[in-house]
Homo-oligomer: A and B are copies of this chain.
């Protein structure tokens, strides 16, 4: 059983994956730089459904059965889950330390049946399906009383942590509210107490007025380079309407999100030459006691620079690209319609 352990100084939880138990020899064999993306038969492609754990959800042709071809978006449990679904939390202390069992959910969302179906090659309609599946899986786990937070994220490219090439996202549900989310909640709440406005709504208003950092805008969303961008070409997508949870998204908003996500990622793809990237959806914790002051959003992080001692030591970042210049480059990058 994996363990969740809490740092007694800064209250950060970590997952100790006890069952993987990687020892020195495992790291000697595979140095960080040398880990390639697995080639050969793809476990996430149609016809190979037996190579994954049994599916927990799929959008598929009528008449086709589970774990057979005919699907276009499919969800399976992670074969090597960071957290285990079965069991009790069993929260306990150990002197100055706190820990609990590593209970949670870890799923792989296969975004498309197409092995080479990266976002710039998909249609808006195909991306809508992926976004609906994000919402479905969120709602499927939101009723589990042990779960406090659900993170949906994507790793693209080996340097961004992807170990499979076939386009996929992941969902990890945790029995604690993660540190970074707590920081955003606390910061947004402090701002709300002071100004009685949502800090994200104020950011959106200011960005729409100055337009220096805007990449794209449609009826429901904007994509921007954040003012205090950590990484070159870091990009956020925010709903223009105040909404605390991704699970509240409606049909029109899914269509608009698919469009802005595809076009934004395509611009990054063409401007930077298919860089490795991560994206994450920051949404309210399941209890959603932050409806007034929290505002869900996506953060897209191209992995173009290295995180080193300064960043680990300070939590600060050195960004060699000015956000306003990055926004201009991306605005000027032409991409096809989806």
Contact = CB atoms under 8 A, between A and B. Distances in A.
Contacts of A61: none
Given A154-B309, A278-B309, A315-B183, A24 B161 contact: no
Contact of A315 (B9, B22, B180, B308): B180
Contacts of A317: 12, 14-15
Interface residues of A, number: 101
B27 A232 contact: yes
B202 A276 contact: no
A322 B14 contact: no
B9 A199 contact: yes
A31 interface: yes
Contact of A96 (B206, B278, B325): B206
Contacts of A278: 308-309, 312-313
Interface string A1-41: 00001111111111111101111100110011101000000
A103 B312 CA distance: 20
Contact of A10 (B18, B31, B183, B310): B183
Nearest to A179: B315
Interface in A278-293: 278-282
A15 B309 contact: no
A247 interface: no
A131 interface: no
A178 B18 CA distance: 32
A12 B170 contact: no
Interface in A133-170: 149, 151, 153-155, 158-162, 170
A191 interface: yes
A151 B27 contact: no
A203 interface: yes
A6 B228 contact: yes
A24 B97 contact: no
Given A8-B199, A188-B9, A314-B178, A33 B321 contact: no
A63 interface: no
Given A158-B33, A187-B9, A318-B14, A97 B27 contact: no
Given A11-B187, A149-B314, 14 more contacts: A14-B228, A14-B318, A16-B228, A17-B318, A32-B275, A35-B306, A96-B206, A154-B309, A155-B308, A180-B316, A181-B313, A278-B309, A280-B309, A280-B312
